[in-house]
Amino acid sequence: MRFLTMLMFLNFLILTNLVSGQEETYPVPAEAVERDNVARGKLEGPFEFRSTIYPGTVREYWVYVPAKYDSAKPPCLMIVQDGLGMANSWKLPTVLDNMIHDGTIPVQLGIFVNHGLVPAPNENAQARYNRSFEYDGLGDRYARFLIEELLPEVGKTWKFSDNPDDRCIAGASSGAICAFNAAWERPDAFRRVLSTIGTYVALRGGDQFPGLVRKMENKPLRIFLQDGSRDQDIYAGSWWHANLAMLSALQYAGYDVNHVWGEGGHNGKHGAAILPQALAWLWRDYPKPLVVGKAKERRMDLLLDNEDWQLVSEGHTFTEGPAVNAAGELFFTDIPNNTIHKVSVDGKVQVFAQDTAKSNGLMFGPDGKLYCCRTDDGQIVRYSADGSMEVFASGIRGNDLVLLPDGSGYVTEPTAKKIWHFDAAGKTREVDTGIEFPNGIITSPDQSLLTVSDTRGRFCYSFQIEPNGSLSAKQEYGWLHITDHGKSDADGITVDTEGRIYVTTSVGIQVLDQPGRVNFIIRKPKAAWLSNVTFGGADRDVLYATCGDSVWKRRIRARGVDTAQAPVTPPRPGL
């Protein structure tokens, strides 16, 4: 087929670039030389694959089946971007044959996969080449392509381990940042990363990685980096300095990282020469599980040793609105099922209210009642402890709300792009309009400022609260990290006694200091929409999060604030 010819030509151009620079010479490693006494694995393919995650794309992949393959003992897995061309440039099949034979690395299946291509509709048109789009971008799209599409397809014929510790993902140049990003986004699927001449520059946002590595809660990854001082220096940045920045960030964050630097350019020669060394290091101590490293002291030291996310409740459809009462009981909504659930102090989950008109945000008021935004009928209602309900306000399809000590508060209405104020009697008035999708809402500990998240933007908005409840000094204030789709997916918000704002987003719970800077990112409990967060527990040091179909908790080194009680004065911010 014509698209296969074009794809082969494109890969030839890529590989020609990777092996350019004839002045460089490196010794061929012994592991890359075929041996007569070593059984060779089989190379199956090419196989054609059509993706739905990347609509219209066609690609080829090959499968390396080791000589010791045994379907009854699913082997480890190695995935290489840029297909058989990249694998052959590294002499990878031979290296795998020899190192598996020697016992240096475990038995492993290889999948060598090309990027996608949308074939040209006619001979006078150009195909669409997906390499940079798939490889250089941030976000979980490529990881989902592997996990949800390609691996299940390969798994129909060959067995391989589903343990993420048993999986290595590798690549060169854009394929390298792709490999790192797949493991970064989904450490539940991939944990060993080989990156040669990695493209951690501003082609599609890869230059953000060093900052994210420094801020994000650590992940159980092991990474090997290779680059040369004469690598590319172009409009997107310096590959060499970007790789140095990645190493510095990974070391700062306490990752299990190793590297080999050289003086070469943007080619595959050095990577091929050190491949056996890199693989031996990546697989050292196998099958000992990989662990999370300890970061250097961060400005926000929020995490506690041996404290991780714990499941509170699961099996729902979409959870939201976590709220904790004075007794320490947790309440949350399951929006599609029109239900509010209650979790007792001893962890028992029960239905608190039904037929709730797709209730969303919850918060307890100073009267001890549970206030609730009913999206379908545009009511704000409040529940007594016995489950009896009364209508508090009407005419607002609210999402999230915040209560103050005098019984007044604020509520967001995303579909109308509005923020509303209500008084203790339930009288409402519009106080802001224009935020694209106002969602989570919280006050500062001293109740002088109001912060509102914008799901469709990258900022949280800050307002000053006037004595009459009106808002002033509106500003795009809290800067958030975003992914390739250009939105933060910022949803629920809570606050601690230090004035730090916790915002649920697509990359995790981003924790902002008082000046609006993300200092730390707490990872999601699972790969799902992270909808909301609040503090609970006897000392209000337990973070509760609603994520997809489930609810989670985690004790951290911080204490939350109940905005319906007396104001709390936070410390002076560090500017």
Residue 14's SS3 state is helix
* Residue range 329-365, pLDDT digits in tens: 999 999 999 999 999 999 999 999 999 999 999 999 9
Residue 13 pLDDT more than 90? no
- Say if CB 337 and CB 317 are below 8 A apart: yes
* Residue range 361-392, pLDDT digits in tens: 999 999 999 999 999 999 999 999 999 999 99
Task: Look up the CATH number of domain 313-555.
Answer: 2.120.10.30
Residue 140: how many CB atoms within 10 A of its CB?
18
Band of pLDDT at residue 475, cut at 50, 70 and 90: very high
Number of H helices and number of E strands within the chain? 10, 36
Q: Which amino acid is at 460?
A: C
Beta-strand pair 222-228/256-262: parallel
The two structure tokens encoding residue 122: 């006619």
**Where do the structural domains in the chain lie, given as residue ranges?**
2-19+28-282, 313-555
Q: Which pLDDT score, from 0 to 100, does residue 12 have? A: 45
Residue 357's SS3 state is coil
- For residue 290, report the phi and psi dihedrals to the nearest 5 degrees: -75, 150
What would the mean pLDDT of 267-271 be, rounded to a whole number?
Answer: 96
- Does the pTM surpass 0.85? The reply is yes
Q: Which pLDDT score, from 0 to 100, does residue 98 have? A: 98
Residue 269's SS3 state is helix
* Same topology between domain 2-19+28-282 and domain 313-555: no
Q: Which amino acid is at 505?
A: T
Q: CA–CA separation, 195 vs 184, rounded Å?
A: 13
Residue 166 pLDDT more than 80? yes
Q: Which pLDDT score, from 0 to 100, does residue 351 have? A: 98
Q: Which residues contact 32 (CB under 8 A, 6 or more apart)?
A: 90, 91, 94, 95, 98, 272, 275, 276
Residue 511 pLDDT more than 50? yes
- According to CATH, the superfamily of the domain at 2-19+28-282 is Alpha/Beta hydrolase fold, catalytic domain (3.40.50.1820)
Q: Mean pLDDT across the chain, nearest whole number?
A: 95
Band of pLDDT at residue 14, cut at 50, 70 and 90: low
Residue 20 pLDDT more than 60? no
Band of pLDDT at residue 10, cut at 50, 70 and 90: low
Residue 178's SS3 state is helix
Q: Which pLDDT score, from 0 to 100, does residue 78 have? A: 98
Helix (H) or strand (E) holding 413: strand 409-413
Q: Which pLDDT score, from 0 to 100, does residue 296 have? A: 82
Band of pLDDT at residue 15, cut at 50, 70 and 90: low
Residue 405 pLDDT more than 90? yes
Residue that the structure tokens 């990989």 belong to: 290
Band of pLDDT at residue 126, cut at 50, 70 and 90: very high
Q: Which pLDDT score, from 0 to 100, does residue 17 have? A: 58
Residue ranges in 216-346 assigned as alpha helix (H): 239-252, 269-282
Q: Which amino acid is at 558?
A: A
Percent share of the chain, pLDDT over 90: 93
* Residue range 229-268, pLDDT digits in tens: 999 999 999 999 999 999 999 999 999 999 999 999 999 9
* Residue range 51-85, pLDDT digits in tens: 999 999 999 999 999 999 999 999 999 999 999 99
Residue 393 pLDDT more than 60? yes
Residue 198 pLDDT more than 90? yes
Distance, CA of 132 to chain centre: 20
Q: Which pLDDT score, from 0 to 100, does residue 483 have? A: 80
Q: Which pLDDT score, from 0 to 100, does residue 341 have? A: 98
Q: Which pLDDT score, from 0 to 100, does residue 7 have? A: 56
Q: Which pLDDT score, from 0 to 100, does residue 9 have? A: 47
Residue that the structure tokens 């949280």 belong to: 460
Q: Which pLDDT score, from 0 to 100, does residue 18 have? A: 60
Q: Which pLDDT score, from 0 to 100, does residue 574 have? A: 84
Band of pLDDT at residue 294, cut at 50, 70 and 90: confident
